[in-house]
Amino acid sequence: MWQLFNLALKQGPWLIVATGSVSMLIALLEGVGLGLILPIVEGISTPEAVDPVHDLSHLVFNLTTWLGLPFSTTVLVLIGLVLFGLQSLLIFTKSMMILYLRTRVEVAVRADLFASFFATRVAYFDNQRLGRLSNAVVIEASRTGAALVHVMEAAVTAILVAGYFVVAILISWKLALLALAIISAGGIATRQTSALRRRGSKITIANANLESIAVEHLSAIREVNALGLKSHANQLFSEAASRAGQESYGAERLVATFRFGYEIGAVVVTAALLGIGFFILDVETGATVAFFVLLFRLAPRIVLLQNLLYKFVSAHPGYQEIRQLTEESMRQVLPNQAAGTLAEFQEQIEIRNVSFSYDGQTNALDGINLVIPRGATVGIVGASGAGKSTLLDLLLRLADPNEGAILVDGVDLRNIDVRSWRSLIGFVGQETFLFHDSIQQNLELSNPNTGPLTIESAVKRAGADELIDSLPAGYSTVVGERGAMLSGGQRQRLSLARALARDPCILLLDEATSDLDSKSQALIQQSIREMHGQHTVIIVAHRLSMVRGADLIVALDAGKVAERGTHDDLLRLGGIYARLHAKESRSS
């Protein structure tokens, strides 16, 4: 509960103060309004000239006299109506402030969690279900906001209840103490939060599972249909949706059951207190009637307070899930991402005795030593699992070496500001990704300051100009989710154009031409030749034709550098590269 309050304080301390102040004013008006009941009851028989009998009536009499108002039933009723209207306005104001604070908290929680994902090592996501992460950002953040509303409304209601008891003491301290004892005993006896807490945790798990199934199957909808898995997918989703619904229904049913019990208990307590006051404690009739009206107003507030606390307990696991994910991801954050040294690349990149392991046991890279001069074209080849893409991940600083270092002009990459370093790099990965936007917007994403001439040049160098010209909407064509409206080769050409549009100092290509036809590949090879000396190009490729003209070709095997040299050198060596070349020649 205090964690949520601290979270709210960070987002709007003035809102917390204002909400508390308005709540106190609401409680004060509620107390004054209740205080009017007793003199009104006493003045029913003589409405124009009320004779105050009870101490509370004398207090009201002194207040109205001080204000210069006549002490009559009509005036008291009018005052009560004015107070009721003002109180309603303040209640509306209080509700709007709490809802606004909820919105700010939800936005902040979502933004912080989302940002923490992008600050962590990419390897962290290998063992995470995407649905769990998206569920936390969307659903659990909303439940966090709901928990905040419940706890704040509970605090406001508690202030009102305290005000009721102050007035109750003024009417009859004996009945007030008796009521407090009975209600407290009932609250302790029925405090069943453990079941709701367990149910709330199950809701979080069920929501994450439902989201995971939805994201997983919708992102692979072509494969699901092609493999005849539609019925299987529908069954999985229906079962997950049913479980999520059952858990939510179970939590609401528990809350409703507890509320029903409190409402019945409130009726019994009210009747018992009135009987005790009238027949045992000999409380005067006016005070008894006033106390009855007070209990009539108090009972729903107590029921609401308990109901809000139960709802808070049910929703709070959503916030716990967000905290857990944030802490998990932040433990995986790469150090020194905003180091003071800005990236400069004038001479060379040196990979010095670099080893890297994903699981801490088996090395994906083992003792790699490599020097890449500025302006050189370097090809990285090898069988699947040799460590080619891992090496590019380290160059992008998506991960850090377990041993050794990557030096840029003699400076450890770990001591270079990550954002400035990546601003020098154009990257095209194995899985080409385009956003659900126009081609123009996708090309401008890599560099918002890119001019139209630079984009046109990048498109031409990537062999994507004919593609764009063939589309009815040209650059305004929306490519669909992940570029679904385009073929694999078209996506690769546009991804390459996007990388070239930022005019990178270093171009990293990870199987970036695997889906291209021979004509498109020839165009890109020509572009790479034209970049020689101007851009540093590092190419990971299965197609050896892509690296044939490279200044240096490195063959990796089981995470180690097995061979290095030019195309001709490696063919004469007759090792891994020569075997890969022979295999490619036979299959072509």
* CATH, residue 499: 3.40.50.300
**Residue 147 domain flag:** yes
Question: The domain that contains 112 carries what CATH number?
Answer: 1.20.1560.10
**Residue 198 domain flag:** yes
Tokens 């089981």 sit on residue: 558
Angstrom distance (rounded) from CA 164 to CA 26: 12
Residue 389: its pLDDT value, please? 87
pLDDT tens, residue by residue, 536-568: 999 988 888 888 888 999 999 888 999 999 998
Residue from 538, 540, 487 nearest 515 by CA: 487
Residue from 490, 497, 501, 495 nearest 435 by CA: 495
Amino acid of residue 495:
S
**CA atoms in the 13 A half-sphere facing the CB of 340:** 0
**CA atoms in the 13 A half-sphere facing the CB of 234:** 5
Residue from 535, 572, 538, 534 nearest 552 by CA: 538
Tokens 């001439």 sit on residue: 453
**Residue 377 domain flag:** no
Q: Are residue 179 and residue 327 in the same domain, yes or no? A: yes
Amino acid of residue 345:
F
Angstrom distance (rounded) from CA 490 to CA 471: 12
Edge-first strand order for the sheet with 348-357 is 363-373, 348-357, 403-408, 411-412
Query: Which of 291, 307, 331 lies at the terminal end of a domain, its last residue?
Result: 331
**Residue 555 domain flag:** no
Angstrom distance (rounded) from CA 474 to CA 332: 42
Question: What does the block give as tokens for 370?
Answer: 């490599």
Angstrom distance (rounded) from CA 227 to CA 222: 9
Amino acid of residue 520:
S
Number of domains in the chain: 2
Residue from 104, 105, 91 nearest 157 by CA: 91
Residue 372: its pLDDT value, please? 92
Residue 332: its pLDDT value, please? 72
Beta strands in 263-393 (DSSP E): 348-357, 363-373, 377-382
Angstrom distance (rounded) from CA 34 to CA 87: 12
Domain range for 88: 2-331
Residue 283: its pLDDT value, please? 63
**Residue 447 domain flag:** yes
Write the CA distances from 333 to 126, 315, 348, 408, 424, integer angstroms.
Answer: 15, 28, 27, 22, 22
Write the CA distances from 53 to 30, 164, 239, integer angstroms.
Answer: 22, 21, 68
Residue 282: its pLDDT value, please? 66
Residue 286: its pLDDT value, please? 64
Amino acid of residue 83:
L
End-to-end CA distance of the chain: 67
pLDDT tens, residue by residue, 169-217: 777 777 777 777 777 766 655 555 677 777 778 888 888 888 888 877 7
113 neighbors 322 (Cβ within 8 angstroms): yes
10-residue averages of pLDDT along the chain (588 residues): 71 81 82 69 56 59 66 71 84 87 86 81 75 84 84 83 78 75 64 70 84 78 71 84 86 77 72 71 67 74 78 81 82 69 87 86 86 92 86 89 91 88 86 82 78 84 83 84 77 85 88 72 78 86 84 90 90 88 76
Query: Which of 306, 331, 356 lies at the terminal end of a domain, its last residue?
Result: 331
418 neighbors 342 (Cβ within 8 angstroms): no
Residue 206: its pLDDT value, please? 85
Angstrom distance (rounded) from CA 443 to CA 432: 13
Q: Specify the 3-state DSSP secondary structure of 367.
A: strand
**Residue 571 domain flag:** no
Q: How many residues does this entry show for the chain?
A: 588
Residue 472: its pLDDT value, please? 82
Query: Which of 453, 475, 504 lies at the terminal end of a domain, its last residue?
Result: 504
Q: Using alpha carbons only, what angle is made at residue 239 by residues 315 and 316, rounded to the nearest 5 degrees?
A: 5
* Start-end of H helices in 190-284: 193-219, 221-226, 230-275
Q: Are residue 443 and residue 324 in the same domain, yes or no? A: no
Q: Are residue 321 and residue 444 in the same domain, yes or no? A: no
**Residue 271 domain flag:** yes
Angstrom distance (rounded) from CA 153 to CA 141: 18
Residue 349: its pLDDT value, please? 93
Residue 209: its pLDDT value, please? 84
Angstrom distance (rounded) from CA 468 to CA 462: 12
Question: What does the block give as tokens for 404?
Answer: 């050794």
Q: Are residue 115 and residue 244 in the same domain, yes or no? A: yes
Q: Are residue 154 and residue 42 in the same domain, yes or no? A: yes
**Residue 471 domain flag:** yes
Residue 509 sits at φ, ψ, to 5 deg, of -120, 115
Edge-first strand order for the sheet with 552-557 is 425-428, 506-510, 536-540, 377-382, 552-557, 560-565
